[in-house]
Amino acid sequence: MKTRILLPLAGAALLAVTGCRTSMNSIENAQKTGQRQMISDSRVITDGSLAKKVSFVGVNQTMTPGGFLKIQIELLNRKHSLQRFSYQFEWFDANGMQINNIVSPTVPDEIEGGESKFISSVAPTSACKDFRVKFIEN
Amino acid sequence: MKKYILLSIMTAALPLVFVGCATKAHYIQTGGRESLVTVNSINIQDFIQAANDATSDLLASGVLDKVANPPAVLAISRIVNNTGQQIDTDLLTKKIRVALLNSGKAQTTTTMGLGGTAEDPMAKGLQQEAEFKSDQKATRTPDFTLSGKIIQTIAKDGNTSQSTFSFQLSLTDAKNGLAVWEGEKEITKQGGRPSVGF
């Protein structure tokens, strides 16, 4: 009787562990031509669970030809399973005032196990000098 | 004894099950995480995301900076809806227009429209009147036209259905008819049909 109950349970547990397991290999050129302009960042972590799974590798910025600030953030999934999260960019002017942006979506995204991924955004106006990105686990 | 405990737990939980299903009307952030997601239709968050991607890409391209008299003037051309849903394409174009205007890089004409129809007939009338009185052409010809298409691709496998919405946009130079910027944003949604429904 016990075996009849335990066997399906063990099967389900095995599926749970292995079924969602993903990992990613990658290859890139070793001698880089482009130089990323990395910037120092300030982090506020209130969801330790998400931070353990998806970590911030670094932030780099550039200016577009039209004079808009462009931000790129590198993320790394430290787990071996797909992680889903949402993020939203906020932009601030030289006085630290938030700039109202009609098209500022909460972007749903996902990252495979072990994957390194970039997310980026362009400031809505040339007056944007600073930014903040909010992350939340889905 | 066990029966009594189980019975009392179930009795206590039963009202919770029914009460829990009722959602009191409340406000949520437009396009936020609480927004409803439906597989077979374009939700408001999809329009916001598509408009944001198009605007960011367009601003980053620097195309709008290449006009002789900045800011660039835009005219909205046809946005074809090739989805199974009836949509107002202004949900996409208006967001792009507002964002471009706020960026200071482009303005949209409201006195020129597809087939000679002005978005703002009163403004067109006043403009024509001013032109007649001063005997000078006051209308600035648009530098670019914005056109596009929204396409839906459906896939089904068993109880799982999937929809991909492609938002395709082209910015054409009005002088030579060449597309100087093109953007495409694809949003894919997947969901299962509930096996039990209330």
- Chain B positions touching A62 (Cβ under 8 A) are none
Per-residue model confidence as pLDDT tens digits over A5-61: 665 666 555 555 555 678 888 999 998 899 899 999 999 999 999 999 999 999 999
Residue A76 lies in a domain: yes
Side by side, which strands form the sheet with B106-108? B106-108, B72-82, B144-157, B160-173, B179-192
Give A66 to chain B, closest Cα distance, Å: 5
Domains identified in chain A, total number:
1
Q: In percent, how much of chain A has pLDDT > 90?
A: 70
- In B57-178, the DSSP E strands lie at 72-82, 106-108, 144-157, 160-173
Q: In percent, how much of chain A has pLDDT > 70?
A: 86
Q: Check if A104 contacts B (Cβ < 8 Å).
A: yes
Q: In percent, how much of chain B has pLDDT > 70?
A: 85
Residue A56 domain boundaries: 38-137
The CATH number for A120's domain is 2.60.40.3230
Cβ contact A131:A69 at 8 Å = yes
Give A27 to chain B, closest Cα distance, Å: 26
- Chain A positions touching B96 (Cβ under 8 A) are 103
Residue A87 lies in a domain: yes
- Chain A positions touching B33 (Cβ under 8 A) are 86, 106, 136, 138
Residue A51 lies in a domain: yes
Least CA distance to A101: which residue of chain B? B99
Q: Are strands B72-82 and B144-157 parallel, antiparallel or unpaired?
A: parallel
**Per-residue exposure over A111-129, b if at least 16 CB sit within 10 Å of its own CB, e if not:** bbbbbebebebbbbbbbbe
Domains (range + CATH), chain B: 43-192 (3.40.50)
Least CA distance to A135: which residue of chain B? B33
B121 three-class SS: helix
Residue A138 to residues A53, B32, B140: CA-CA distances in angstroms? Answer: 12, 12, 48
Residue A106 lies in a domain: yes
CB contact under 8 A, A106 and B96: no
- Chain B positions touching A122 (Cβ under 8 A) are 56-57, 59-60
Residue A60 lies in a domain: yes
Q: Are strands A130-137 and A83-92 parallel, antiparallel or unpaired?
A: antiparallel
Residue A94 lies in a domain: yes
Confidence of residue A100 (pLDDT cuts 50, 70, 90): confident
| ipTM of this complex prediction, to 2 decimal places | 0.81
User: Which amino acid is residue A5, in one-letter code?
Assistant: I
Token pair recorded at residue B125: 């009338």
Residue A119 lies in a domain: yes
Q: Check if A96 contacts B (Cβ < 8 Å).
A: no
Per-residue model confidence as pLDDT tens digits over B30-88: 999 899 999 999 999 999 999 999 999 999 999 999 999 999 999 999 999 999 999 99
pLDDT-flagged residues of chain B (< 70): 1-22, 138, 194-198
CB atoms within 10 A of CB A109: 15
Residue B171 to residues A68, B110, B142: CA-CA distances in angstroms? Answer: 20, 17, 12
**Per-residue exposure over A57-67, b if at least 16 CB sit within 10 Å of its own CB, e if not:** eebbbeebebe
CB contact under 8 A, A66 and B65: yes
